Chains A and B, each alone.
Chain A
Amino acid sequence: AQKITQTQPGMFVQEKEAVTLDCTYDTSDPSYGLFWYKQPSSGEMIFLIYQGSYDQQNATEGRYSLNFQKARKSANLVISASQLGDSAMYFCAMREGWEAAGNKLTFGGGTRVLVKP
């Protein structure tokens, strides 16, 4: 079974509007971490936001926020006020277990976002 599922292969969003990227995960480990990365066409991976399984509040970083619904095992990324530079692939990833045990990440298939002017 897929550990990280991103059901939206691609989507368009109008500049200045908000967009939500879906991510569901599957783990039986009570301790885990969820990450979102952005990959522009140049290929590098840019870290956006992190949510720990025991964090009480949803993570926020500037225009990025993570809608963490633990019971549903979802960790959707919300980008507010989209900019043309937000056009990229976005990957959801999960680390299972405690941080001290290792940081191996499992990635989802990604969602391609294209921001229209």
Chain B
Amino acid sequence: EADIYQTPRYLVIGTGKKITLECSQTMGHDKMYWYQQDPGMELHLIHYSYGVNSTEKGDLSSESTVSRIRTEHFPLTLESARPSHTSQYLCASSPWGEGEQYFGPGTRLTVT
């Protein structure tokens, strides 16, 4: 059973606010990922990390930033939220040597 958590599950926030989406996993996985998904659409990788102090931008350009100070924690921050950031954000992790990614429940963000 995968143990990966995201908070908050739902967030409605006004334009211009700074927000941080939390993601934590208790499996000791080195690799972690953030995906953005619009309703009913495909997932797009926006950030990933292969370990502590390692972060890379994904295939989809994003105004968000990430940090990886601890293995288990991979938060995503939007400095100034805009309506175009309205989407679902999914966090995932995987161990070395395996392809399967374990996903968190997601955060549904609405920026008004």
Q: Which residues of A contact B (CB under 8 A)?
A: 33, 35, 37, 42-47, 50, 52, 89, 91, 95, 99-100, 102-110, 112
Contact = CB atoms under 8 A, between A and B. Distances in A.
A30 B106 CA distance: 33
Interface of B: 31, 33, 40-45, 48, 50, 58-59, 88, 90, 92, 94, 96-106, 108
Contacts of A89: 40
Contacts of A47: 100-103
Contacts of A95: 99
B42 A110 contact: yes
22 contacts: A35-B99, A37-B103, A44-B104, A44-B105, A44-B106, A45-B43, A47-B103, A50-B100, A89-B40, A91-B42, A95-B99, A99-B96, A102-B31, A103-B94, A103-B98, A103-B99, A104-B45, A104-B48, A104-B58, A105-B101, A106-B59, A107-B43
A99 B97 CA distance: 5
Given A109-B42, A110-B42, A102 B103 contact: no
